[in-house]
Structure 1
């Protein structure tokens, strides 16, 4: 099927008109190499800096260390460190201070993770690397800050797997309802990744101090993507450098 010359000419004229409109932005001309530069789909900017977040900066009196987001209720949980400060602050998505947890069962939070199902925020998990009577533990809290569950023996560092014992556990990631991943050993005895089931029993562990595949040097964080790849990150060797230790399929 051949196109009529009038149709082809009309298509060219429309394209040129569109090109002219795109090249002209108000009073200023926008340089372009070709018409095809404009018909390519530009990458969408997913994130941008909000320099005014939070709107109440005076509410943060400690050292912020990690955050967890409850997207269903548009809330942000900020874990902070310091003496005589609340260890968890809650802000709205817009950055306005909402509340502070009043729990005294946290010493030095490191990782914080929000467990969310299709309907609500179920709980907040926090790893505690403190050296005092509440440290060396992984703890589950209600959204309001009530302590629900403790993994590990508070105040005691160790490497036992049954019962579980940690030495400065750094981070936790929960996938679905039955996969719990914990990296243990933020400068302590252990350099390992543990996977627990939904009843908190050990499914497997991986690690050891070193730089070979499957080993760690101060594991710092863990995450799992939608296709089941587990990523673990070593502690930075400097202020600006992190080392991706390994990534594998579960």
Structure 2
């Protein structure tokens, strides 16, 4: 009788959602309460739309405030601050294989390549000119750099397209129109390559990720979340910042849910429009908030 009674209560708890079998959700992420990004006296962190890591484990943070690009070494020491003269409203932020920093500006319609020290190396688009041709964007959101150096810009808020360039910035092609169908886009918000060279596009307003080859051919899609931020880890799984649901997800590259965490709020560990997400070499997850004006770090617990 005791065994049957205990078993029946386990069934009730599982159905109620109080207890989850380990096979359903084996990992969780907890806030690292001891972490905070070092800032110089007088500088406050604004909205954090972009974060990335360089090859040495250094952290690049973009925020909407003075000194919009902050560069840290692997030990958390602040090395560089720059971008006031070039940037109006930072958005996507990536680091390429040579540790150059790519930042899109969704208000002045540009995508800029900086050296690690902040020197402008290449500018795509025309500053303060919105358009839809080979030389202009309309509120671009992110940049992905292919293994051969080709550049892929998600031209998201105004144009709902992906634009491909050579590494020198010469236009190659563009694809995408606004819509809900296969291969159509509604606010391509960020872009990431997987190890096979396929481009994962955060089709934000369609609540999905669409996957394309480098010529723009549709491969597959997966979703059920609003992808504000994407980061593909070295194990070829995907971390997602869902700014609409105020949570983060860890999924496979076909969309299988591995973990999710977060709720809306101002308390530590909660989110107010998470927008940027990236993991460091130790697997710690960094999340940047837009409305919360903060950068938080999470540690995986089994």
| 1:77 and 2:77 aligned | no
Indicate the RMSD between aligned Cα atoms, in angstroms: 2.5
Who is 1:156 aligned against? 129
What residue is the counterpart of 2:139 in the other structure? 168
Whether 2:110 is the aligned partner of 1:126: answer no
CA pair 249-160 structure 1, distance change in 2 beyond 3 A? closer
Higher relative contact order (CA 8 A, sep 6+): 2
Distance 1:116 1:53 in 2: 27
* Aligned equivalent of 2:260: none
Gaps of 5+ in 1: 1-43
Q: CA deviation at 1:219?
A: 1.0
Instruction: Measure the CA separation in 2 of the matches of 1:96 and 1:45.
Output: 30
Counterpart among 195, 198, 203 of residue 234 in structure 1: 203
Q: Structure 1 residue 99: deviation in Å?
A: 3.1
Report deviation, 1:107: 0.5
Deviation of the 1:204 alpha carbon: 2.5
- Distance 1:55-1:155 versus aligned 2 partners, 3 A rule: closer
Q: TM-score, normalised by structure 1?
A: 0.67
SS where residue 169 of structure 1 aligns?
A: coil
User: CA separation in 2, counterparts of 1:127 and 1:55?
Assistant: 22
How many residues are paired up?
188
Q: How far has the Cα of 1:103 moved from its partner?
A: 3.8
User: Does residue 111 of structure 2 align to residue 147 of structure 1?
Assistant: no
Partner of 2:87: 106
Q: For the Cα contact (< 8 Å) 1:153–1:165, is it kept in 2?
A: yes
Deviations 1:58-95 (A, max 9, x none): 754311111121132x311100013xx11111223343
Structure-2 change in CA distance of 1:216 and 1:180 (3 Å):
same
For residues 49 and 176 of structure 1, what CA distance do their matches in structure 2 show?
34
How does 1:21-36 map onto structure 2 within 5 Å? none
Please tell me whether the aligned partners of residues 125 and 136 of structure 2 are also in contact (alpha carbons under 8 angstroms).
yes
The TM-score with structure 2 as length reference comes to 0.56
Contact 1:103 1:146 in 2 (8 A): no
Q: Does 1:243 align with 2:207?
A: yes
Is 2:46 the counterpart of 1:62? yes
For residues 196 and 44 of structure 2, the distance between their equivalents in structure 1, rounded to whole angstroms, comes to 36
Structure 2: runs of 5 or more not aligned: 1-25, 215-302
Q: CA distance change for structure 1 residues 100 and 67 in 2, over 3 Å: closer, same or farther?
A: same
Using the TM superposition, give the Cα deviation of residue 244 of structure 1 relative to its aligned residue in structure 2, in angstroms: 2.1
Alignment CA distance shift 1:245-1:45 (3 Å): closer
Q: Distance in 2 between matches of 1:208 and 1:245?
A: 15
Q: Give distance in 2, aligned partners of 1:202 and 1:79.
A: 26
Q: 1:138 to 1:80 in 2, by over 3 A?
A: same
Identify the structure with the greater helix proportion. 1
